[in-house]
Amino acid sequence: MNTVKKRILSGITPSGDGSLHIGNYLGAVRQFVELSKNNECFLFVADIHALTTIQRKDELRANIETLILNELALLGDLSNIIFFRQSDVPMHTELQTILNNITPLGLIKRAHAYKDKLEKGVEEEEVNMGLFSYPVLMAADILMYKPDLVPVGRDQKQHIEITRDIAERFNRTFKSKIFPLPEPYIPEEAAVIMGTDGKRKMSKSLGNFISIFEDEAVIKKQVMSTYTDPTRKHVTDPGHIEGNMVFNYLDFFTEKEEVMMYKEKYRQGKVADVEVKNYLFESLMKYFAPARMRYEELKNSPDSVKKIIQTGAERAREVAEKTINEVRATIGLTNKYSF
């Protein structure tokens, strides 16, 4: 068996209210947890990225705290994971500033996040520079750790492509080989998790999500409002599985044989929507039970969380310092008076 360890890196922004939904889990965190079993992993809270949209201090603070607990609870075993906050490693922004100089405006103008804003009617003059240069900060986040793989959902794919482009330009401009080109890691079946409305990508801002750490009653409500088969009026009507979000989620969270049985019954009109939804709710509760328990434990032990964050920051800084020193030397900032 091939045991060469790869370096894995990913980040999550504490946007919305900072909590994670099953789209984040299936799209990114699950792959990260799987990869962390045999590889060296870096996972960070992209708190500086959140400033592009969150500019109320209490909100940002609460979001960061929530996301830290959510992520740690889902990760569980941290033995191969360096978990840290982006703002604890100031080299990210130094590298961003350096990379800004080799990044053409045109490349960033084509970025989705920026284009989406314009399409939503936001005036170009109103877009803040943080949002505009977001892909460059993300490139710095990634290149700093020279990862092999970056597990993310498909919505981040373009950002990884921009990162590769920036890395190539840097290497070419400075005739160096400092930055290896990172690969996105996006398994097809979880590339885009659709929302409970069955129409758009699951996202906090669209309100079409299923939470992981909310109270059971809230999650139950989210499950009960999930889109199924609009053509089915009575329990005895044969139902459709394709495009039915309840079955879509069940495929991820239940035993294959059991869900096959439910699918068969549904097709034959032998099981009610509410029964299948209850089954999904129970399955989610079972699947996430260990993480939900860890979440409560972590919430009640702020000192141990602080310790994890502190250790993570120290270890991430060590790697970041090495990279930034290499970069400084490569571009000519290091000279005979450097110390």
Q: Which is nearer to ligand TYM, 93 or 278 (CB)?
A: 93
Residue 245 found at the interface with ligand TYM (CB under 6 A): no
DSSP, collapsed to helix, strand or coil, labels residue 211 as strand
Cα–chain-centroid distance for residue 135? 15
Catalytic, 322? Answer no
| CA count, 13 A, side-chain hemisphere, 90 | 0
* Minimum separation from the CB atom of position 184 to ligand TYM (A): 9
State yes or no: 77 annotated in a binding site: no
DSSP symbols for 104-161: -HHHHHT-HHHHHHHHTT--GGGS-HHHHTHHHHHHHHHHTT--SEEE--GGGHHHHH
Per CB under 6 A, the list member of 70, 87, 133, 156 interacting with ligand TYM is: 156
- Distance separating the N- and C-terminal Cα atoms of the chain: 45
Query: Cβ contacts of residue 221 below 8 Å, gap of 6+?
Result: none
> Which two tokens mark 21?
């939904």
List binders of ligand TYM among 300-329 (CB under 6 A): none
Per CB under 6 A, the list member of 8, 95, 98, 142 interacting with ligand TYM is: 142
Q: How many C-beta neighbours within 10 Å does residue 80 have? A: 14
With CB under 6 A as the rule, give the number of residues binding ligand TYM. Answer: 24
* Minimum separation from the CB atom of position 232 to ligand TYM (A): 25
Residue 194 forms beta bridges with which residues?
201
DSSP, collapsed to helix, strand or coil, labels residue 81 as strand
Segment lying near ligand TYM (by CB under 6 A), choices 138-146, 224-232, 274-282, 314-322: 138-146
- Bridge-based pairing of strands 81-85 and 149-151 is unpaired
Per CB under 6 A, the list member of 12, 64, 95, 167 interacting with ligand TYM is: 12
Q: How many C-beta neighbours within 10 Å does residue 146 have? A: 18
State yes or no: 153 annotated in a binding site: yes
* Minimum separation from the CB atom of position 46 to ligand TYM (A): 4
| Contact track, ligand TYM, 35-74, x by CB under 6 A | -----------x--x-------------------------
Q: Which is nearer to ligand TYM, 63 or 244 (CB)?
A: 63
Segment lying near ligand TYM (by CB under 6 A), choices 24-32, 95-103, 123-131, 321-329: 24-32
As a whole number of angstroms, the distance between CA 219 and CA 284 comes to 9
Task: Catalytic residue, from 6, 157, 201, 265: name it.
Answer: 201
* Minimum separation from the CB atom of position 52 to ligand TYM (A): 9
Q: How many C-beta neighbours within 10 Å does residue 138 have? A: 25
Q: How many C-beta neighbours within 10 Å does residue 204 have? A: 17
Active site residues: 120, 201, 204
Q: Provide the binding-site residues for ligand TYM, judged by CB under 6 A.
A: 9-13, 23-24, 27-28, 46, 49, 138, 141-142, 150, 152-153, 155-156, 192-193, 201-203
